[in-house]
Structure 1
Amino acid sequence: MSLVLDSAAQDLLFREARTANTFTDEPVTDEQVRAIYDLIKYGPTSMNQSPLRVTLVRSPEARERLVRHMAEGNQSKTATAPLVAILSADNEFHEELPQLFPHFPQAKDAFFGERPVRESAAALNAALQAAYFIIGVRAAGLAAGPMTGYDAEGVRKEFLDDDHTPLMVVNIGRPGPDAWFPRNPRLEYDQVVTTV
């Protein structure tokens, strides 16, 4: 066997894991979200950058405000999911670098002095962290429904600020009835991997 992770864990995280479209009404607790974050924060990023920010949408009022910005096909499932998270990239993440990178405190200005450089780094590394977040949700025995079908500028204005770029909205909970669409095919190894 080439993988150290046992088959059950492989299935939980990848083979049997699916994007959920319906959820039960079982709550997702703050403790569960904290456990997810405390696991995924160790996922590798460039220079230990940590630009991902998570906004949990819990109150009915906030949920209603979010649903207005979702694409029509995403509104119902976002309205009824036990928990919704807005994942965004903090374009001012470099302000935390001195504490995350203590052996090289000048990294903040040396690499990230220009806003376009920060935005590019934030987008890439927050996207990596968003993927880890989805895997963390699965590791907690929950299902994730990540979506990019929404009015990004509307979500930013409603929930974030000019220094944050929304990446995706993720519904989180236990899968409900008929939660899965049929699985689409994936590219095979030889279609993806080239050796030079």
Structure 2
Amino acid sequence: MDTALALEVSAQNLLFREAHTANTFTDEPVSDEQIEAVYDLVKLAPTAFNQSPLRITLVRSPEARERLVGHLAEGNRAKTRTAPLTAILSVDLDFHERLPELFPVMPGLKDSVFAEVETREQAGTLNAALQAGYFILGVRAAGLAAGPMTGYDADGVNKEFFGDGKQKAIMVVNIGRPGQDAYRPRGPRLSARDAVTTL
């Protein structure tokens, strides 16, 4: 099972087999240095034209946390109040402004392919979601647990935290060391036989 993969079994377990969505956390803090180290891995994830549209808003202060909690589904409020750190992952809808710097081999890209707002939002959201998946793996690589959530009022979060309309939330993630009874039993997954087709 493990011999087909280059990654050592302990790393496979840390990132995948032993990792779960955490619902409780200890009060051990998560430092800015840890998040910067996570981002230094995440930024290497692939995005179309290297557009890198993911933005991460760290919610640390009690005031900011309560502003966020008010927009969460009831089942997500208690765990967000007690997580040492919560991140709002969002798409920067003006990501195209950085393309001359991030993808200089096509200098006209910003004003051609991504000139239309709808095209930008669609491409940015897809690629930010891809980066969000890598962010969760980066959190796990730091030895921390992630509790990603989409149970929130998106319009409310966007107005509360991104009032200028230039960013849109795609996910909220609680981050920290897993607490007591942090994990529910793992649900079933499709097998490769069910999910993979060879043509």
TM bracket, shorter-chain basis: over 0.9
**In the TM superposition, what are the counterparts of 1:1-196 in structure 2 within 5 Å?**
1-160=3-162, 161-196=164-199
Which amino acid counterpart does residue 164 of structure 1 have in structure 2?
Answer: Q
Q: What are the ranges of 5 or more consecutive residues in structure 2 without an aligned counterpart? A: none
Report the 3-state secondary structure (helix = DSSP H, G, I; strand = E; otherwise coil) of the residue aligned with 2:30.
coil
Deviation of the 1:42 alpha carbon: 0.3
Deviation of the 1:98 alpha carbon: 0.5
1:109-142 deviations in Å (ceiling 9; x for gaps): 1210000100000110000000000000000000
Which amino acid counterpart does residue 198 of structure 2 have in structure 1?
Answer: T
TM-score with structure 1 setting the length: 0.99
How far apart, in 1, do the equivalents of 2:154 and 2:137 lie? 23
How far apart, in 2, do the equivalents of 1:103 and 1:47 lie? 10
How far apart, in 1, do the equivalents of 2:49 and 2:98 lie? 12
Q: What are the ranges of 5 or more consecutive residues in structure 1 without an aligned counterpart? A: none
1:88-119 deviations in Å (ceiling 9; x for gaps): 01111000000001121111112100001000
TM-score with structure 2 setting the length: 0.97
Aligned Cα root-mean-square deviation (Å): 0.6
How far apart, in 2, do the equivalents of 1:18 and 1:159 lie? 28
Deviation of the 1:74 alpha carbon: 0.2
Deviation of the 1:56 alpha carbon: 0.3
1:128-165 deviations in Å (ceiling 9; x for gaps): 00000000000000000000000111000111131211
Report the 3-state secondary structure (helix = DSSP H, G, I; strand = E; otherwise coil) of the residue aligned with 2:112.
helix
